[in-house]
Amino acid sequence: MKKILRIALLLYSDILLADDKSVLLDTLVVTGTKTEKTVADSPVAVNVVTKKDILASNATSVAEAIEALPGLRLKEIHGQGGDELVMQGMTGNHILVLKDGAPIHNFGISGSNLSRININDVQRIEIVPGNASVLYGSSAMGGVVNIITNTPKEEWLSLTTTIKQNQDDKYTPSESVFQVDNGLKLDNWTLASQWQFRNRQPYDTPPTDNSEDIAQLIAADVNEKLTYRHTKKTYSDLWFSLVREDTDREYDEQTPGSVLRETQQRNYRSQELGYRYKGHSWDLSLKSNAAKLTSDTDNLKTSNYLDERRQTNSDNVLLQANKTFSTENHDITSGVSFSQIDIEQTLTETQLSATTAKTEVNDTIKGTEFFIQDDWYVTDELELVSGIRTQWDSGFGQQTVPNIAVRWDVSPDLFIRSSAGLGYRVPNIKERYYRFDHSSSGYEVIGNPDLEPEVAKSLNVELSYKDLTVQTFYKDITNLIDTSLDESIENGLDTYLYSNINSALIYGASIGISHKINKVQLSANYQWTKTKDQDTGLQLDHRPTHIASLKLKRPVSLPHIKSSNVSLSARYTGEQFYDAKKNEKSQGYLLLNANLSMHFNDQWSVSFSGKNLSDVKNESGIDYDLRPMIGRQWMLTLSYTPY
């Protein structure tokens, strides 16, 4: 009966009238179980950012769209001006980022910089916190972010431009973004095109020291997707994407008796071709990605000093197939995937007229994975999801992990969700091999081919009553991969090496409330996280104990404006260790944001935003100050949709 009611809801959800909260609860999601369910009925916790949320937040990237979600924290990637996600104490390397179910940048060259992912074709974003290794493999030990793109039915065109201005920046504008979203339709064929161009000026945090803390960025990406709809629920996608990112950063390097002016340039290129068939309980996809990252360090004053070029090439092929079998009380989903990653990294050094070249990495990694999951509707009030995945990696052999989740609807207003299982993650390409040269900031990070895979025992429990949600989480991790300072290397830089922590604990709890008072939508959340290195007894680095957020949003009436919304938000990040062994700790901080979004008519809209209105900035020259590099920032977004 419960399953029949769910199906009926899916068929008629597009004609239901409801407020913002009920619309969200009726939103269909697929990431939690790989089958369609509403947010309200999912046996696995899924946070959702809808298209309406994206437009109202004035977001220009995935990072900006999800930054206000409970229990999530965006960690600034030093020197890149971007962010990676931290969720329940697990960092970006433990969180799998998908686009329509297929991994993004899973080969580890570009990392998980969510600020670089184009958002203009995004329909919604689904986030599953906690261990998802059974459904999605080793990269999902800390959770999953699934970016679902638009599936429009008519032709469309949208032009959007965004200007960002840092209050204390010498450049105007500090950053500009231009986006085009276009679609053409002919019978059952649809061609969707998304193009984005981004230009960010270099930034030197005050007081200026003649060294750029954030590099200049010029980036462009092109996404083309051709869709053929066989039937109403069956379609094929063929897509092609190009990404180009160029960064340029100048800085002063201190050497004995002199100061050298150097520049570091990075050029990233990526091409991807893919095909997907979905329908009749099948989901098949094949994609190939080729990427190249080139990093040049050049002394601008003299040829007597060493210049370096490090180039990394990676080719990735991934084949995935999932099928769901449904009976009266069961949805059984099984899947298999095959992957191959080829990586080559070379270093070329030039001094005077002498040039030397060497190959640092040349390796091929193959993987095969199989999973099966049973979603059992035990009664109308009880649902049990159990699954198991076995995977084989050419570098680490075979591993099997189980997971079980349960949902109990105690009453119409109260339900309990819980999950327990094993998580497993093999070191990625970046952690095993790549050398990150941040000499402009006084440090480097070196991959470690001797790393061991991580294994985590995890438990999540959630209780939801009306507008109130309480969650607890616990992770007991063996061989947690982290970075540590290697004092045996003396090259004038702080050299950090990826290494395994023999045993680590991460546990905590969160509480959240979402309630509508008249026209005001209020959301408040708090999360407490405790971490411990079992070998040393110290806390884990870069994981604040306290995170809290508050957001208020309401519609406002303005003359000659069709509709408008204003939102105010505050987010507190508590103190955290930069290096617990040295007792180097970064202080907590509070960020305040505001946004006004106005739709003049069906074609024109404009948004004004103020970010970090509290003007919190880190102190230049103090490595362990993890507060934001950029202080108060203003944003203006103008969008035109002629059809």
Q: What is the pLDDT of residue 407?
A: 96
Q: What are phi and psi of 560, to 5 degrees?
A: 65, 15
CA-CA-CA-CA dihedral for 298, 300, 303, 305, to nearest 10: -60
Residue in the structure block whose two tokens are 């090496």 = 497
Residue 94 CA to residue 458 CA, distance in Å, equals 13
The three-state secondary structure class of 13 is helix
Residue 153 CB neighbours (<10 A): 10
- Asked if 347 and 293 count as a contact pair (C-beta separation under 8 A), the reply is no
Element (H, E) at 5: helix 2-12
Residue 171 CA to residue 289 CA, distance in Å, equals 36
Angle, vertex CA 226, rays to CA 224 and CA 230, nearest 5: 160
- Is residue 430 left, alpha or beta, with left meaning phi > 0 and alpha meaning psi from -120 to 50? alpha
From the number of C-beta atoms within 10 Å of its C-beta (0-12, 13-18, 19+), residue 354 rates as: exposed
Element (H, E) at 479: strand 468-485
Domain 154-640 has CATH 2.40.170.20: yes
Average pLDDT per block of 10 residues along the chain, 643 residues long: 41 36 66 86 88 78 80 69 80 86 62 71 88 87 88 81 90 91 90 92 74 85 93 92 89 63 84 93 93 81 69 92 94 95 89 84 92 96 96 92 96 95 88 72 78 95 94 96 78 78 95 91 93 94 93 91 92 93 93 93 93 90 85 94 88
Token pair of 539 as six digits: 């806390």
List beta partners, residue 247. Answer: 217, 266
Q: What is the pLDDT of residue 439?
A: 61
Q: What is the pLDDT of residue 114?
A: 78
For the chain, domain boundaries? 154-640
Q: Say what the pTM is.
A: 0.87
Q: Cα(first)–Cα(last) distance of the chain, in Å?
A: 42
List helix spans (H) across 2-148.
2-12, 20-25, 51-57, 62-66, 133-136
Angle, vertex CA 453, rays to CA 579 and CA 530, nearest 5: 40
Q: In angstroms, how far is CA 327 from the centroid of its own chain?
A: 35
Residue 418 CA to residue 460 CA, distance in Å, equals 5
Q: Cis peptide leading into 642, omega within 30 of 0?
A: no
Mind listing the pLDDT tens digit for each residue in 383-434?
Answer: 999 999 999 999 899 999 999 999 999 999 999 999 999 999 998 887 888 7
Q: In angstroms, how far is CA 195 from the centroid of its own chain?
A: 20
- Asked if 565 and 56 count as a contact pair (C-beta separation under 8 A), the reply is yes
Residue 414 CA to residue 489 CA, distance in Å, equals 57
Q: Beta 216-231 vs 234-255: how paired, if at all?
A: antiparallel
Residue 371 CA to residue 133 CA, distance in Å, equals 10
**Hey, CA dihedral for 83, 89, 92, 98, is it positive or negative?**
negative
Residue 49 CA to residue 70 CA, distance in Å, equals 12
Q: In angstroms, how far is CA 4 from the centroid of its own chain?
A: 35
Residue 93 CA to residue 428 CA, distance in Å, equals 8
* 73: Cβ contacts below 8 Å, ≥ 6 apart: 85, 86, 87, 544, 547, 573
Mind listing the pLDDT tens digit for each residue in 67-82?
Answer: 777 778 887 765 455 6
CA dist 297 → 80, 307, 359, 438 (Å) = 16, 6, 18, 10
Element (H, E) at 10: helix 2-12
Residue 203 CA to residue 619 CA, distance in Å, equals 14
Q: What are phi and psi of 403, to 5 degrees?
A: -155, 150
